[in-house]
Amino acid sequence: MERRDFMQKAGWTGLALSLAPTILLARNKPFELPQLGYTYDAIEPFIDKQTMYIHHQKHHAGYVRKLNNALKGSALEGKLLVDILGQVTTVEENILQNAGGHYNHSLLWETLTPRGKELPGKTLKEAIEQSFVSYEDFLVTFRSAALGVFGSGWAWVCLGDDKKLFICHTPNQNNPLMRQVENTYGTPILGIDVWEHAYYLKYQNDRATYVDNFLKAINWEVVEQKYMEASK
């Protein structure tokens, strides 16, 4: 039995963060907007309450609604999110962008923390040092990827097929799970949204300060958990 089938049959509901394997195993029946697990003002002062509210209740909710509509009657209807992302092509632009939007934001909410100031744990720290020499070098590369996105998109920390971490960026709501669309393939463990809707209310055109502050709000415990899941 495949792991994902086991998770389905074992009745996993995705309610408890510490037990949730990944949003990727959610099935379209239809997809639902996930809860944040914290209040809209919890990430202040790094990300403001109004941005969090609009981003979750308007943008993310819109991706979920449009994705469910786009999937109706398509060959990808009823599939797991991981399979939709892996199989969708640019021909199905509506499914592509909204499936990406749903996955990208679900991961984003999970990897933010109200507590802040955390550092990667031992396992993730060692993996980071193996791929980027040091945690500081890793931050420089991630920051520069986030600033390097022209227009709307995301910067990612991913685990590649070779089990090494790498950093990349993708346009729009694309992500490195889209094997039919992106050249660089991997499983994201952390992503930063650099669409203007993610920061413009508070930071206006100052993406650099937004990126610096985002880095102070990362839940490294969850990112490490994502790393260990992807490493299996």
Q: Contact between 102 and Mn ion (CB under 5 A)? A: no
Q: What percent of the residues of the chain are helix, what percent strand, and what percent coil, each to the nearest 5?
A: 50, 10, 40
- Taking CB under 5 A as the binding criterion, the range among 29-37, 40-48, 180-188, 189-197 that sits at the site for Mn ion is 189-197
Q: CB nearer to Mn ion: give 193 or 224.
A: 193
Q: Contact between 110 and Mn ion (CB under 5 A)? A: no
Residues 210, 121: Cα–Cα separation, whole Å: 24
DSSP state of 43: T
Q: CB nearer to Mn ion: give 46 or 195.
A: 195
Is residue 189 within 8 A of residue 158, CB to CB? The reply is: yes
Beta strands 153-159 and 165-171 are antiparallel
Q: Rounded to the nearest 5°, which phi and psi values hold at 178?
A: -85, 85
Q: Contact between 193 and Mn ion (CB under 5 A)? A: yes
DSSP SS3 for 231: helix
Q: CB nearer to Mn ion: give 96 or 165.
A: 96
- Provide the minimum distance between the beta carbon of 173 and Mn ion in the complex, in angstroms, as a whole number: 8
Per-position x/- string for 36-75, each x denoting binding to Mn ion as judged by CB under 5 A, each - no binding: ----------------------------------------
The residues that touch Mn ion, with contacts defined as CB under 5 A, are 193, 195, 198
